[in-house]
Amino acid sequence: MQKLVINKLGPVEKCELECSQFMTFTGFQASGKSTIAKAIYYFRTIKEDIIELAKAQALDVAPVSGLENKFNVKHGISLKKAIENYLREKFLRTFGSSWGMSNEMYMEYYFTKTCVIKISLKNDMKYSAPNYIWVTLSTDLIDFLQENNNRLSVTPLGVAEEELRTFKTNLYRIFNDYCSVVYIPAGRSMISLLSQQFGYIYATMDDMQKRSLDSCTKDYLERILRLKPEFSEGLQGLNAYSARKSVLPKKLVTQALDLIKKILRGTYRYSNGEEQIVLDDGKYVKINFSSSGQQECVWILNLLFYYLMQQNPILFIIEEPESHLFPESQKYITELIALVNNCKHSVVLTTHSPYVLGTLNNLLYANTISSRHSKKANEIIPESFWLDYNIFNSWFVKDGGIENCMDSEIHMIQNERIDEISKVINNDFDKLLELQDTNEERVVL
């Protein structure tokens, strides 16, 4: 099982956790949930970084007209050195400047017992800057990078496909990780609000301005810009096209589309350069004039459905899916995420919502119902939404650390963690009630 360790990074003082297929993080603002989510993104995307760097190295050796070396690998640099340099830059673009960080900061990720990557700081005058970012790769990964240095060749059409396929297969085997990563950050409504202008705004940004965006947000923006045209005929059109080569049961697709319609109160379409919410009567609303809830959730729904239809394994990292949504819609979006997870994808979820956590508990509990009652349970909650506690974990982030908030006996999230603030609110009410009772006693006396 994969494991993440973080020491003194942002608000996180110490964090060590084993990564499961479905993970949730809850806790107060600025407690470190996003830091942990970004750390998972940082490490789990390294294999894709290596692939892109290897391709860039090949194109630099044998440049092909019209193909860019977007990773800007310096001529003659080894693949090992290229990934070390890139991971330093990626760290800064993901977590910010290291100058204000503790010298004791480090984070490491165990993909397997032998494949480990560690990022730490060195405060040494021989380096060009204080708190120099130091990258430590495990031996088997170093061996792979050295053995595959300048391994890929170039054809008139680009990097040789068969060589690249073999390279990926061997690399994924070392990492024992076959998932691509899709990061969906919080604060999505502003991107939807500027929908028509955003393509132009992003295109006119220079490289320095684009680098000022954190890696997760930049990844999300570029993914949306790239995928918008895929939705020219809406979700139904995407479904019709994908169904030709899909082995996904039709029932699951129908359930996903029904949930999306309930959440969005319509369906999404990208037409004539406009993002639209199409209503039941065929009329539509431009996305920038839709509700804040629709703007926040539309690309969560689109990405979940798009990759559900693609059927390649994805790790979805989703921040606050409940943002601006009515509690009923929070239930539906949680069920959609669970459905997608059950189709061989993985999920990392950050949330403040007791409705999201409560729904997850229902889905966990449904899976424990005895087979004698499973048919009736399926009528209440479709079995395709049920969650297996063996691949699920939930964490509470607080005071610089994390606490596992799963009840080991009933295999559900502890009730006191689902709505911890209710205790404070109820306590305040009880105190006010005591004052009222005391006041009434005085009046009687």
Instruction: Give me the domains of the chain, ranges plus CATH numbers.
Output: 45-178 (no CATH), 180-413 (3.40.50.300)
Which amino acid is residue 228, in one-letter code? Answer: K
- The top-scoring range by mean pLDDT among 17-21, 183-187, 421-425 is 17-21
pLDDT surpasses 90 at 416: no
Q: What is the mean pLDDT of residues 302-324?
A: 95
Structure tokens at 419: 């709505």
Which amino acid is residue 159, in one-letter code? Answer: V
Cα 425 to Cα 198, 329, 358, 397, 419, distances in angstroms: 42, 25, 19, 20, 10
Average pLDDT score over the chain: 88
Cα 364 to Cα 55, 64, 358, 388, distances in angstroms: 43, 53, 10, 6
Query: Has this prediction a pTM greater than 0.85?
Result: yes
Question: Does residue 5 sit in helix, strand or coil?
Answer: strand
Pairing mode, if any, of strands 22-27 and 346-351? Answer: parallel
CB 389 within 8 A of CB 367: yes
Closest CA to 39 of 80, 3, 82: 3
Question: Residue 373: what pLDDT?
Answer: 86
Q: In whole angstroms, give the CA distance from residue 183 to residue 300.
A: 10
Ranking 20-24, 63-67, 141-145, 371-375 by mean pLDDT, the lowest is 63-67
Cα end-to-end span (Å), the chain? 68
